[in-house]
Amino acid sequence: MTDKCHPGINLGIRHGEAHQHAEKVMFGFWVFLMSDLVLFGVIFATYVTTVTPMGIAGGPGPADVFDLKSVFIQTMLLLTSSLTFGIATLMLRHEKGIRNIVLWLCVTLGLGLGFLTLELRDFATMFASGAVPSRSGFLSAFFALVPLHGLHVAAGAIWIVVMLAQVAIFGLIPMVKTRLLRLALFWHFLDVIWIAIFSIVYLGGLA
Amino acid sequence: MTALLDWGWPLGVFTLEQLPFVRAYNNPTTSELIGAGAASLVVLGGLAVLVILTWFGWWRPLWRNWLTSTDHKRIGIMYIVLSLVMLSRGVIEGALMRTQQATGLNSGFLTPDHFSQLFSTHGTIMIFFVAMPFVAGLINYVMPLQIGARDMSFPVMNQISLGLTAVGAVLVMISLVLGQFSTGGWTAYPPYTGKVFSPGVGPDYWIWSVAIAGIGSTLTGINFAVTIYKERAPGMHLFRMPLFTWTALCAAILLIFALPPLTVSTLMLALDRYLGFHFFTNDLGGNLMNYANLFWLFGHPEVYLLVLPAFGVFSEVIATYSGKRLYGYASLVYATMAISVLSFTVWLHHFFTMGQGANVNIAFGIATMVIAIPTGVKVYDWMATMFRGRIRFSVPMVYATGFLILFVIGGLSGVILANPTIDYQVHNSVFLVAHFHNVLIPGVLYGMLAGYHYWFPKAFGFRLSEGWGYVTATLWIFGFAFTFFPLYVAGLLGMPRRSVSFSDPSFQPLMLIAVFGAVLIMGALAALVVQLFVSIRNRKVLAVPLGDPWNGRTLEWATSSPPPEYNFAIIPTVTSRDMFALDKARGTAFEASQNYKDIVLPKNTAIGMIVSIGGTGLGLALVWQIWWLALVCVTGMLIALIGDTFRKDVHRVIPAADVAREHKEWLKKIADAKPVNRLEEATPHNTGFAAQEDAQ
Amino acid sequence: MMGHDTELRRELRRYLIGFALALILTVVPFALVAWGALSFGTALSVIGISAILQGVVQLRFFLDIDLSTQKREDLHLILFTVLLLSIMAAGTIWIMASLANRMIA
């Protein structure tokens, strides 16, 4: 057995059973994420085909509805949350105690919720100005793609809460450790998807 | 949007007029009476199952041994049971359509609406609820045994996948009794299936049954792939895996990457229908052509994910019954991989006529033709395996022979269709119907039935009746030929597909031949049932408990029949391809071990059933817009799934002493048994211990 | 436990370097778009290149995936996914663009 038994951050040999068990669950989770990536990719492709005069159908276009400043703040929040989750993973890997892990998880959760709040505020603004999904093909694709990512972030946030409960109830047993590892992977994945969203949807739409 | 806020009537948009009985009472035409008859069959069949379960007191064993089991073998069997039940409905619907078209010269007895429902449910059922579960079930059963594993990587998720697949099938069955199914074909092209042209609940049934089952299939794919990557017995490199496992791996990869486009396209259609989005509508920037594009991004890899495991079955069957090593193993593996990747590059050939430029069509046409090359390699490999082998013409070999001849014809008609200019002529004609039935029936169905016959003794400890097996296989082969070869001709004469009636009398003789074929296929279905019934009755005579009735070559035959729940007392060590054949030749196949170990297996769990019931409730709630029920089901499933992660005590242990005792009992029976000569394998002498005559 | 802490510090540094690089690769395209200084085509290529680079940076520095690990399954999986995704996305855009052109013309 080596110190690295699956893609991504490993717990390391000194975690014994948890590290061994991680090999198969982490690989499985990677495969799931790749499937999810294809799901996003197909929606991205659809979105790109609707940012045309036909898709916009005389309704508001990207320049009319996107708020670059808000998107920039959302990007910063999510990027920072990726870093803070990374630090939580390191605390787990180097056995720096439950307190440190919980602290960094809570910071990540706060950043994630901040991201969701801003995103929902943007959607509310768009709705108020009449940019609703039933207005055009372009807005339909937008409201399928971006909120789907938001839904993933919300699921990640719920997952963090569940893991906080499991850490409190069970302590850092192998089962909890490998779940935290998968959650970390999920959270980094969300940030990678967001890179594509801000580049293709927002920056591409406003350039 | 108003419907969304309408919480008033607790049953959503459901009314009594949605019941086929009420419709038939109000309007007693042949069409409505057939509909009511089918609905009564579903209701009576359901009641009969309930009565039988109660009468024999089978509820508890059903719950304990099957519905809550996480054993890959039991899950596999349940998949195949589901598939066979749905197969009988699909075949009856097919026969009904053939009858309609045989009488369809300017008339017929079905209304166009009813006919449209028939071809929509027939296609949806045959692809999603016959072929997919059959393939998933066979892989589930066989693959872990072939790689020397104790179970799948994620046994509980396996159970959930089965549950979700069952939800889809149940929704399609319910649509016979409550409301009506879609009339938009199995592909459900908008804008016809959009709210404007199909305001009823039909397309919603299609959307939710396919979307929910599709999520189950994605999880299945992940499970297969991880199992094959991580659970192989020591020494089993990728290039020592049996070919069926290779095809299972490729099918898993296709499931993982091809299902997302289906999920996306169905959910986008749902957003259009429920929330007024404009993905595929005619107005406000919707683009129906993107639906065809997305759907076939899934649809084409889908047919390969069905047919590759069938290729795997034939590879095993032909090698075993020829008494030879598989010829060209490496080329078969590379061909399988090539087909998997190429299958993602050809989806446009399903809509050559949609209007894109000639360059696009040509690129995809060439890619389509290229797939014929690896497939051809496979056909030659199978024939070379038989060459100079000692062939036993067993039932699976009958299927294999039928497959080789008929599938090549089907494949060649595919190469013809791959040429865009020819496709323009025969697009949407019954030529196409003949083509895809010609690859799906001899390819997928014969493969699955051959696998069913081949591995049935492994699963249940007794063989299937050979006599009825020959009858079944012959009827399938001739039934297919009579039903679908005339459609090639009718298609070339210009008969459009999916038409309830026609006015050109030259089609009629062809339709009459086709309905004769449909009768044969109904006979094949009946023979399949009779075979099962006869075999169960004669199970004492047909028993092969020692586990190796066909002188098999791969690891699944190296354990008793049926195998113990932990599969192998000792995980085998692999040093070569066809490991069991090698062990038998060296005389080391049946040896006791010095160190048996405790075996850890997952405990039973009800989570799969909870998800299944919740999923069915959710599907019905969405179809009938019963929002309170949808909310209850989603919350219930979420709580159950999250709650399940708080279970800590999920394993049980089988003590080493029990394992040792069972293993030694089996070895003793083998030591006492008289080996059976291959020519006698279809006689009562066969107890599952094959004689070693010549080892190749 | 000294060895432990050096390792932790080294890994923490890796995260911080990754974060800094990601920050740069985010701020640059945002700034270019906010100023609107570049032509559409140039801006699009800068955005695209930054996005791809940032994806690689996140994989390398946050997820510890590189070219040198003994186990290559991870990399193979990601590359295979990217291959299929490119086929699907590029194919979709190609087909839909062809259809759109022919409808207008």
CA distances from A35 to A29, B70, B153, B222 (A): 10, 24, 18, 9
> What are the chain B neighbours of A24 within 8 Å (beta carbons)?
153, 226, 230-231
CA proximity to B330, closest of B271, B221, B455, B246: B246
Q: Are B299 and B187 in contact (CB under 8 A)?
A: yes
Interacting residues of C87 by C-beta distance below 8 A, sequence separation 6+? B344, B345
Q: What is the pLDDT of residues B19-53, one digit of tens each?
A: 888 988 888 888 889 999 999 999 999 999 999 99
Helix then strand count (H, E) for chain B reads: 23, 2
pLDDT of residue B7: 55
Domain ranges of chain C: 1-64, 70-105
Task: Choose from A29, A77, A83 for mutation: most chain C CBs within 10 A.
Answer: A83
pLDDT digit string, tens, across residues B407-446: 999 999 999 999 999 999 999 999 999 999 999 999 999 9
Put simply, the answer to whether C88 touches A207 (Cβ < 8 Å) is no
B243 within 8 A of B327, measured Cβ to Cβ: no
Per CATH, which fold does A13-206 belong to? Answer: Four Helix Bundle (Hemerythrin (Met), subunit A) (1.20.120)
Q: Is the CATH code 1.20.120.1200 the one for domain B58-605+650-680?
A: no
**ipTM for the whole complex:** 0.95
Look at B287 and A56 and tell me if their CB atoms are within 8 Å: no
Cβ(A159)–Cβ(A183) below 8 Å: yes
Distances (CA, A) of B95 to B320, B362, B516: 35, 37, 10
Contact present, B227 and B149 (Cβ < 8 Å) = yes
B453 and B549 Cβ atoms separated by less than 8 Å: no
Q: Cα(B497)–Cα(B232) distance, rounded to whole angstroms?
A: 46
| Residue A113 CA: distances (Å) to CA of A108, B491, C76 | 9, 59, 34
- Within B154-194, where are the H helices? 155-177
d(CA A141, CA A146): 9
Per DSSP, B103 falls in state: T
Q: Does B347 touch chain C (CB under 8 A)?
A: yes
Contact A42 B264 (CB under 8 A): yes
Q: Tell me what the mean pLDDT of segment B80-104 comes to.
A: 96
- The mean-pLDDT minimum among A8-17, B295-304, B536-545 falls in A8-17
Reported as a single tens digit per residue, the pLDDT across B305-322 is 999 999 999 999 999 999
**What is the pLDDT averaged over residues B598-618?**
95
DSSP 8-state secondary structure symbol assigned to residue B676 = B
Q: Are C88 and B360 inside 8 Å of each other by CB?
A: no
Residue B491 clears pLDDT 70, i.e. is over it: yes
**Predicted local distance difference test score (pLDDT) of residue B8:** 56
Closest alpha carbon within chain C to B352? C95
Q: What residues of chain B lie within 8 A of the CB of C91, using their CB?
A: 297, 345, 347-348
Residues in chain A closer than 8 A to C77 (CB atoms): 7, 30-31, 34
Is the Cβ–Cβ distance between B650 and B68 less than 8 Å?
Answer: no
Q: What percentage of chain C has pLDDT greater than the value 70?
A: 89
Question: Which of B379, B480, B384 lies closest to B433, judged by CA?
Answer: B480
Strands (E), B304-448: none
What is the sign, positive or negative, of the torsion defined by CA atoms of B561, B565, B569, B573? Answer: positive
Which of A28, A42, A43 is nearest residue B222 as measured by Cβ atoms?
A: A28
Give the pLDDT of residue C69. 58
Percent helix, strand and coil across chain A, each to the nearest 5:
85, 0, 15
What is the distance between the alpha carbons of residues B310 and B130, in angstroms, rounded to a whole number? 14
CB of A144 within 8 Å of any CB in chain B? yes
Mean pLDDT (whole number) for B514-519:
97
**Strand, helix or coil for residue B279:** coil
Mean pLDDT over the full length of chain B: 94
Provide the token pair at B137.
Answer: 């079930």
pLDDT of B696 reads 43
* C-beta separation of B271 from B282 below 8 A: no
- The answer to whether the Cβ–Cβ distance between A31 and B642 falls below 8 Å is no
What is the average pLDDT across B576-602? 92
With 0-12 / 13-18 / 19 or more C-beta atoms within 10 angstroms meaning exposed / middle / buried, residue B396 is: buried
Closest CA to B488 of B419, B414, B415, B432: B432
Please answer whether residues C57 and C19 qualify as being in contact, where contact means their C-beta atoms are separated by less than 8 angstroms: no
Other Cβ atoms within 10 Å of A148 Cβ, number = 17
pLDDT value, residue B1:
43
pLDDT tops 50 at residue B695:
no
The domains of chain A are located at 13-206
For residue B106, pLDDT beyond 90:
no
Please report all neighbours of B, defined by 3+ CB atom pairs within 8 A: A, C
Among chain A residues, CA nearest to C90: A45
Q: Is the dihedral of CA C17, C18, C19, C24 positive or negative?
A: positive
- Check if the beta carbon of residue B349 is closer than 8 Å to that of residue B423: yes
Within 8 A of C99 by CB-CB distance, chain B residues are: 289, 354-356
User: For B446-490, what is each residue's pLDDT tens digit?
Assistant: 999 999 999 999 999 999 999 999 999 999 999 999 999 999 999
Give the CA distances from residue B686 to residues B397, B463, B675, in Å, rounded to whole numbers and listed in that order: 18, 9, 8
Q: Which residue of A has its CA nearest to B293?
A: A46
CB contact under 8 A, B277 and A134: yes
pLDDT digits (tens, 9 = 90+) for C47-91: 999 999 999 999 999 988 877 655 666 778 888 999 999 999 999
Task: Read off φ and ψ for residue B293, nearest 5 degrees.
Answer: -60, -50
Peptide bond preceding B509: is omega within 30 degrees of 0, i.e. cis? no
| B58 inside 8 A of chain C by CB | no
Q: What is the CA radius of gyration of chain C?
A: 20
CB A182 within 8 A of CB A6: no
The verdict on whether omega for the bond into residue B562 sits within 30 degrees of 0, i.e. cis, is yes
% of chain B beyond a pLDDT of 70: 98
Rounded CA separation B174/B620 (Å): 9
CA dihedral B562, B401, B368, B125 (to 10 degrees): -50
pLDDT per position as a tens digit, A127-146 = 999 999 999 999 999 999 99
